[in-house]
Copies of this chain bind each other. A is one copy, B any other.
């Protein structure tokens, strides 16, 4: 069941920011960042400090869903620094501390709120591998893991751009929902990522998102944005859908929300859809107080003003430019993605694998994504300095050139 570890037969030991050291003291640059769960890099000193202080004082670690001070403080900070400045009104549900659990909770709630069963999900979407979430996940290997069971109650439709630039795929969505004979049942929810991380850095356009949101509304379906990978600053803003002109009914957050890589998830719920009964969707680890501590510090440190967003913008521009240059080294390659969630589609999984392998030899940890793992994906911490970003991209550039020849 190891996947990343098969490629890196190294024992990692210490880490700080974008750098990681193995047991022999060798230094690596980490452009994978806990699969997007380390947007602020490894072991941020302020979070570490706060967490150590919490432990030292005997602060509660596991609080179930009871009120604990770290939880209250996180909630206040999230309200004050995230929701209020964006004029958002959401209730916060701490689900089991994994992304797949947040998705399970979102689907359950949407179905309960609407009394409907069907959920619209999109080609190349990734939403987790527990059974309910897996039904919405596109990846065949994951879907076949459980082999023998059906994954019902999800209708799959083409994501923005799936049929090329000339076909607006939201047309089909609208058509099947307005046609009483389409065979697509009225949906409880439309579930999407604004940028498909695992799916290969496919980006939904603003007009497409707005149209999909309008279709959801017109059809009585909840719009769920799965912001587990694209959220918490990855695309440049706290939520990936900011500036897109849409307000999701439910939002899933996980991965980087704790700031420190600790397991934590939450579901944002528009108040009118908070139809949970007490304890209906429960779980032992909903009250991971260590994660609440670091999550609060992360918000205070990075989201109190707009300077962090400007920093991400600068880094994104740098990454975009460098990737464009690197893409020219690989015939047919293109740059995909948005913000600090960009990469190069080299159109061939073997080529991508070879480039990643060569990068790893040069001590750059980097991974590929996409249906055939053909998109080399930069998920560097958002806090990575310009210097280290350039250093990593230099390695990628060398590996791309080399990699190409090796395969050809």
Residues of A within 8 A of B (CB): 1-6, 8-16, 20, 23, 32, 34-38, 42-43, 48, 51-52, 55-69, 72, 93-94, 96-101, 104, 107-108, 111-112, 115-117, 121-125, 128-156, 158, 162-163, 167, 171-172, 175-176, 179-186, 188, 199-200, 254-255, 260-263, 276-285, 288, 290, 370-372
Instruction: Point out the residues of chain B lying under 8 angstroms from A111, CB to CB.
Output: 146-149
Quick check: A153 and B156 within 8 Å, CB to CB? no
16 A-B contacts (beta carbon < 8 Å): A5-B65, A10-B67, A14-B58, A61-B261, A100-B283, A104-B129, A108-B131, A111-B146, A123-B179, A129-B283, A132-B132, A138-B181, A140-B186, A142-B282, A150-B153, A154-B183
Quick check: A4 and B64 within 8 Å, CB to CB? yes
Identical copies of this chain, number: 4
Instruction: Point out the residues of chain B lying under 8 angstroms from A20, CB to CB.
Output: 60
Instruction: Point out the residues of chain B lying under 8 angstroms from A128, CB to CB.
Output: 283
Quick check: A149 and B150 within 8 Å, CB to CB? yes
For the A-B complex with A1-B279, A98-B263, A117-B149 known, give 15 more contacts whose Cβ atoms are closer than 8 Å. A1-B93, A6-B278, A9-B67, A12-B63, A32-B64, A48-B56, A52-B52, A107-B146, A128-B283, A130-B132, A132-B149, A150-B153, A162-B175, A180-B372, A182-B371
Quick check: B199 and A112 within 8 Å, CB to CB? no
Q: What residue of chain B has the Cβ atom nearest to residue A171's Cβ?
A: B163
Give the residue of B12, B62, B176 whose beta carbon is less than 8 angstroms from that of A69.
B12
CA distance A134 to B132 in the complex (A): 10
| A137 CB, nearest partner CB in chain B, Å | 7
CA distance A122 to B43 in the complex (A): 44
Quick check: A152 and B150 within 8 Å, CB to CB? yes
| A162 CB, nearest partner CB in chain B, Å | 7
Quick check: B13 and A59 within 8 Å, CB to CB? yes
Q: What residue of chain B has the Cβ atom nearest to residue A164's Cβ?
A: B171
Q: What residue of chain B has the Cβ atom nearest to residue A198's Cβ?
A: B181
Given A123-B179, A158-B172, also A16-B101 (CB < 8 A): no
| A364 CB, nearest partner CB in chain B, Å | 14
Instruction: Point out the residues of chain B lying under 8 angstroms from A140, CB to CB.
Output: 180-182, 185-186
Instruction: Point out the residues of chain B lying under 8 angstroms from A136, CB to CB.
Output: 183
Quick check: A60 and B14 within 8 Å, CB to CB? yes
Instruction: Point out the residues of chain B lying under 8 angstroms from A66, CB to CB.
Output: 4-5, 8, 10, 12
Quick check: A104 and B123 within 8 Å, CB to CB? no
Instruction: Point out the residues of chain B lying under 8 angstroms from A200, CB to CB.
Output: 181
Quick check: B181 and A282 within 8 Å, CB to CB? no
Quick check: A182 and B112 within 8 Å, CB to CB? no
Q: What residue of chain B has the Cβ atom nearest to residue A188's Cβ?
A: B148
Quick check: B1 and A130 within 8 Å, CB to CB? no
Q: What residue of chain B has the Cβ atom nearest to residue A17's Cβ?
A: B58
Give the residue of B1, B15, B144 whose beta carbon is less than 8 angstroms from that of A65.
B1
Quick check: A183 and B156 within 8 Å, CB to CB? yes
Max chain B CB contacts within 10 Å: which of A34, A112, A137, A285? A285
Give the residue of B34, B56, B125 whose beta carbon is less than 8 angstroms from that of A52.
B56
| A113 CB, nearest partner CB in chain B, Å | 9
Which 9 A-B pairs have CB atoms at the shortest separation, nearest pair first?
A: A62-B261, A131-B132, A3-B279, A152-B152, A138-B183, A181-B371, A145-B280, A263-B285, A130-B130
| A117 CB, nearest partner CB in chain B, Å | 4
Instruction: Point out the residues of chain B lying under 8 angstroms from A124, CB to CB.
Output: 179, 181-183
CA distance A122 to B61 in the complex (A): 33
Quick check: B48 and A62 within 8 Å, CB to CB? no
CA distance A72 to B136 in the complex (A): 34
Give the residue of B37, B122, B129, B141 whose beta carbon is less than 8 angstroms from that of A180.
B141
Quick check: A69 and B23 within 8 Å, CB to CB? yes
Instruction: Point out the residues of chain B lying under 8 angstroms from A94, CB to CB.
Output: 1
CA distance A200 to B186 in the complex (A): 21
Quick check: A1 and B98 within 8 Å, CB to CB? no
CA distance A156 to B156 in the complex (A): 8
